[in-house]
Amino acid sequence: MGYFNAMAEFRIKLSAPDIADDDIEEVVGVLRSGWLSLGPKVIEFEQAFANYLGVKHAIACNSGTSALHMMMLTAGIGPGDEVITSPFSFIASANCIEMVGAKPVFVDIDELSLNMDPALVEKAITPRTKAVLGVHIFGLSAENDKLKAICERHKLVYLEDACEALGATQNGRKAGDGRHGIAAAWGFYPNKQMTTGEGGMVTTNDEAFATSIRKLRNQGRNLSAAWLEHDVVGYNFRLDEMSAALGLAQLRRIDDMLAKRERVAHAYNERLWPLREHLKPLPEVMGHRRSWFVYSIMLKRHIDRDKVAAKLAEWGVQVGKYFSPPIHLQTCYRKKYGYKEGAFPVTEDIAHRSIALPFHTKLPEKDIDNVCECLHDAIKAMMK
């Protein structure tokens, strides 16, 4: 309840979905049709998504988390196995491993890309390691070539958490296009580059992998048999038709929406240049094109992030502290594995200094100016 009240109080919101009249028409069209689940819109959305990425199979589901969960099951991960992943991510990147009874093994991140350091990934491999889950954080592709090569060398499965990275490229190739990880998970929560409300997708070039995901999301039903025949224990992770229709309409505008996000990011970069001795925006990384998911800045060490964040909130600017605490320092992971501060120094340092500023396609120039002025005033007040 408190969360929703807090949302209402901010003058400038952290994120907002980009909903156009066509999106509304698509959803209303489904409602008028009376066909609300297991209908044509999911299939159309899946085909359009697969085309966008240039991948053979796209299977829609009801969240990025369920996409990750089904990927773990399909990759055969289970009790006794270890999966290497990033502690600097949304908690679902580790929870999906716990959900199948396996152990997430974290490795620290590279301070420029904020993605897992491939050298540390290789060092963390044990006889129990079964897979690596690369996370494309803040819309920047993980080192897919290196992670895939490590997995091939050690006979591990490479999987991608692409929930934050629709449209991201490395060396001109889209993250999650099925040529690195055997499969990738996508999420469409309303703060993402495109939304279905709640929703997710698994993409893969592997026919058997796709078949398994299709079964798991629909109660383990045998795809060719009669309706009530189930050959594995599955879930209800289906995406409904209204959400799929919204996804389809959003996907038609994805390039335009990504370009708008990039423009907002560049506008922030310009305005924050005078504050460069106090903060650093997300960097450009050679060979990468970021798909702008959040606009996060890293405050330099002489600035108290929590005080700046509190000031901005007091002035009506909603901010996020991504990802603070990082996953290994969340209560549930501390309790289970005994993690303490200092386990992953780069992750902890970045988590401690980051603030995500209001960021979405429709953020007006005057709000960008205002956020930057507030940030300037908050920092200057602290320097006195």
Binding site for ligand PLP (CB under 6 A): 63-65, 89-90, 92-93, 135, 161, 163-164, 187, 189, 200
User: Between residues 65 and 203, which has the closer beta carbon with respect to ligand PLP?
Assistant: 65
With H, G, I as helix, E, B as strand and everything else as coil, classify residue 105.
strand
Closest separation in Å from C-beta 92 to ligand PLP: 4
Closest separation in Å from C-beta 376 to ligand PLP: 29
23-32: list long-range contacts, CB under 8 Å, 24+ apart: 23/246, 23/249, 23/250, 25/249, 26/245, 26/246, 26/248, 26/249, 27/242, 27/245, 27/246, 27/249, 29/245, 30/241, 30/242, 30/245, 31/242
CA distance 249 to 244: 9
Closest separation in Å from C-beta 186 to ligand PLP: 8
User: Between residues 163 and 264, which has the closer beta carbon with respect to ligand PLP?
Assistant: 163
User: Between residues 178 and 200, which has the closer beta carbon with respect to ligand PLP?
Assistant: 200
CA distance 152 to 154: 5
User: Between residues 136 and 305, which has the closer beta carbon with respect to ligand PLP?
Assistant: 136
Question: 157 pairs with which residues across the strands?
Answer: 131
Nearest residue relative to ligand PLP (C-beta): 64
With H, G, I as helix, E, B as strand and everything else as coil, classify residue 187.
strand
User: Between residues 68 and 308, which has the closer beta carbon with respect to ligand PLP?
Assistant: 68
DSSP letter at 273? G
Closest separation in Å from C-beta 307 to ligand PLP: 26
Q: Yes or no: say if 179 and 173 are a contact pair by the CB < 8 Å rule.
A: yes
Q: Yes or no: say if 221 and 247 are a contact pair by the CB < 8 Å rule.
A: no
Closest separation in Å from C-beta 89 to ligand PLP: 5
User: Between residues 163 and 216, which has the closer beta carbon with respect to ligand PLP?
Assistant: 163
List, in sequence order, every beta strand (DSSP E) within the chain: 57-61, 82-85, 103-106, 129-135, 157-161, 169-170, 173-174, 183-187, 200-204, 279-281, 288-289, 295-299, 354-357
User: Between residues 63 and 291, which has the closer beta carbon with respect to ligand PLP?
Assistant: 63
What are the Cα distances from residue 63, in Å, to 163, 236, 307?
A: 10, 11, 34
Closest separation in Å from C-beta 202 to ligand PLP: 12
Residue 14, number of CB atoms within 10 A of its CB: 18
Q: Yes or no: say if 88 and 323 are a contact pair by the CB < 8 Å rule.
A: yes
User: Between residues 265 and 368, which has the closer beta carbon with respect to ligand PLP?
Assistant: 265
Closest separation in Å from C-beta 200 to ligand PLP: 5
User: Between residues 16 and 267, which has the closer beta carbon with respect to ligand PLP?
Assistant: 16
DSSP letter at 137? G
Closest separation in Å from C-beta 165 to ligand PLP: 8
Closest separation in Å from C-beta 354 to ligand PLP: 14
Give the chain's end-to-end CA distance (angstroms, integer): 37
- Residue 333 tokens, joined: 């992971």
